[in-house]
Chain A
Amino acid sequence: MAKLRIEDLKKIKESMAGTVNLRAGDQRVKITVHMGTCGIAAGARKIMNALLQKLEKSGASDIILTSSGCAGLCNHEPMITVEVRESAPVKYVKLDPEKTEKIFDEHIMKGNPVSEYALSMGSETTY
């Protein structure tokens, strides 16, 4: 029988004691994984897992990872939206775990959007 070991939770609690809980405070980046039926069927859960693994490895506490529903662009799923404070949100489309890892390293950690995976960047030009 699987049991949640209270001692394990206590260990986590103790390791956090004395540190400031930034996770509940100010966020620098918000990552939203689109998890409508379309996103889930296209592999959004794998994207969520990849991001969670990267987040854990990075140790960053100013990044919030969350989910939302269908954005109406079902043929572009799996999608994420990356919002870095004080810059325009970027929607990334047709993702897989490898692309997602690159976005985490380049955009989320270094602040350089990965234009090749983005839905669109900037506005239309005529040249």
Chain B
Amino acid sequence: MEDLSLHILDVVENSTKAGANLVEINIKEDTDKDLLQIIIQDNGRGMDPKMVKRVTDPFITTRTTRRVGLGLSMLEQAAQEAEGYLTVTSEKGIGTEIRATFQASHIDRKPFGDMGSSMISLILGNPGVDFIYKSDFDGEKTTIDTRAIKAELDGTTTISDPAVLKLLRGVFEESLRN
């Protein structure tokens, strides 16, 4: 994966495959602490403690189409390359939280890349799932909740209307301080 927004796209796809209908994506950067955190929480089916322990093992996957699962392993690697780490907490029937921590200024910390495209791919690809996107760069905050947008559109068009997506793309892009 070239950038963090691709990792986010990939890991959130896991959430939607786990049956989540609400996924929260939280990006926090604190320059004073030189800390960057990406937190992804879902209300999917969750995992038992045994699975949580093995989830970053590339040879573990629940899928049947292939026998390797690289998504979380690669995010963990990206975090470790930037002096960070990945934690996974999950409860069966409740949901899963993925927390990737990075040293923000680390030379090997991947850039965010095209967050707008990742979010739009997620919204388009998962019409039954709502997303809460929160970013906080040293107190500069953005929140986008697809439930609020859908309510505002009020049935006149859908969130997958290219005009709506174009508008959203701009907001996601603006929210990042690159």
Give residues in A with beta carbon < 8 Å to B.
1-4, 6, 8-10, 12-13, 15-17, 21, 23-24, 33, 35-38, 40-41, 44-45, 48-49, 52, 55-56, 64-72, 74
Contacts and interface: CB of A to CB of B under 8 A. Distances in A.
Interface stretch (B27-35, B36-44, B89-97, B137-145): B137-145
Given A21-B157, A21-B158, A55-B162, A6 B152 contact: yes
A56 B125 contact: no
Contacts of A23: 157-158, 160-161
A69 B63 contact: yes
23 contacts: A1-B141, A4-B144, A9-B152, A12-B161, A12-B163, A13-B152, A16-B156, A17-B156, A21-B155, A23-B161, A24-B158, A36-B63, A40-B9, A52-B162, A65-B124, A65-B160, A66-B124, A66-B125, A67-B121, A67-B124, A67-B125, A69-B63, A70-B65
A41 B6 contact: yes
Interface string B130-150: 000000000011101000010
Chain B's interface size range is 35 or more
A37 B74 contact: yes
Interface of B: 1, 6, 9-10, 13, 17, 63, 65-66, 69-71, 74, 114, 117-118, 120-121, 124-127, 140-142, 144, 149, 152-158, 160-168, 171-172, 174-175
A85 B160 CA distance: 20
Nearest to A54: B162
A56 B142 contact: no
Contacts of B114: 45
Given A12-B157, A52-B124, A35 B65 contact: no
